[in-house]
Amino acid sequence: MPAREPKIDAYIEKSADFAKPILQHIRQLVHTACPEVTEAVKWGMPFFDCDGPVCNMASFKKHCAFGFWKAALMKDPENIFNKDGKNAMGQFDRITSLEDLPADKIIIAYIKEAVALNKAGIKQVKTKMPVQELPVPEALVTALQQHTNAKAVFENFPPSHRKEYIQWINEAKTAATQDKRIATAIEWMAEGKGRNWKYEKK
């Protein structure tokens, strides 16, 4: 049986009284479901690993949290996961007592599934957050309509490049400054340059 991590013992001991039995219970369930699991403290909270991270738990002033590293890939047949993630870190909402947890057999089954995902080498696909498009200032729209080359470049820019120009123009304190920045932007875009072209690697 793998050794218990002393740092987790200390973490539980320092937790609020209401949290101690919750953390101890979750810890025991993890070891029951996966006897070969190893323990570690990562990012200041207890983690349980087996061929990669399986799950983690944490305690706060008034609640505990428990979550699976690959929750997005799990089936969740009991439909118990906190879907919106707004109320607490992890998939089980705010845990304030043992009664807030699902039945032991359910948690054990979920832990076994999480371990199986790791053993099968199934990895989460990381998706890039899309860059939020900002509305184009009317003054810039008007200027682009009068300069077809700059307009074509602007429309073919990646969202991040368009955003840099829009923010720069929106940050102008006066109309005169905005006009000057738009004129400069049109000139640079006509040459195919991004807002920060001076700092780009050649």
**pLDDT, tens digit, for every residue of 65-115?**
999 999 989 999 999 887 654 445 678 888 999 999 999 999 999 999 999
Same domain, 102 and 147: no
Provide the CATH number for the domain around residue 32.
3.90.1150.200
Cα angle at 151 between 196 and 168, to 5 degrees?
A: 35
Question: Cα(31)–Cα(24) distance, rounded to whole angstroms?
Answer: 11
Provide the pLDDT for residue 48.
97
Is 0.75 topped by the overall pTM?
no
Question: Cα(114)–Cα(68) distance, rounded to whole angstroms?
Answer: 7
Same domain, 104 and 37: yes
Per the domain annotation, does 10 fall within a domain? yes
What number is the average pLDDT over the span 140-159?
90
Same domain, 110 and 30: yes
The domain in which residue 58 lies consists of 6-119
Pairing state between β 53-59 and 64-68: antiparallel
Same domain, 15 and 112: yes
Same domain, 112 and 143: no
Per the domain annotation, does 70 fall within a domain? yes
Same domain, 21 and 111: yes
Same domain, 148 and 109: no
Percent of the chain with pLDDT over 90: 64
Confidence of residue 50 (pLDDT cuts 50, 70, 90): very high
Per the domain annotation, does 56 fall within a domain? yes
Provide the pLDDT for residue 128.
59
Provide the pLDDT for residue 86.
45
Pairing state between β 38-42 and 45-49: antiparallel
Per the domain annotation, does 127 fall within a domain? no
Q: pLDDT tens digits for 119-134?
A: 999 887 665 556 567 8
Provide the pLDDT for residue 1.
53
Structure tokens at 105: 């057999």
Same domain, 27 and 110: yes
Same domain, 172 and 98: no
Per the domain annotation, does 124 fall within a domain? no
Q: pLDDT tens digits for 8-23?
A: 999 999 999 999 999 9
Same domain, 100 and 154: no
Nearest to 66 by CA among 27, 33, 39: 27
Same domain, 105 and 14: yes
Same domain, 42 and 105: yes
Confidence of residue 167 (pLDDT cuts 50, 70, 90): very high
- Calculate the average pLDDT of the chain: 89
Instruction: Please tell me the total count of domains within the chain.
Output: 2
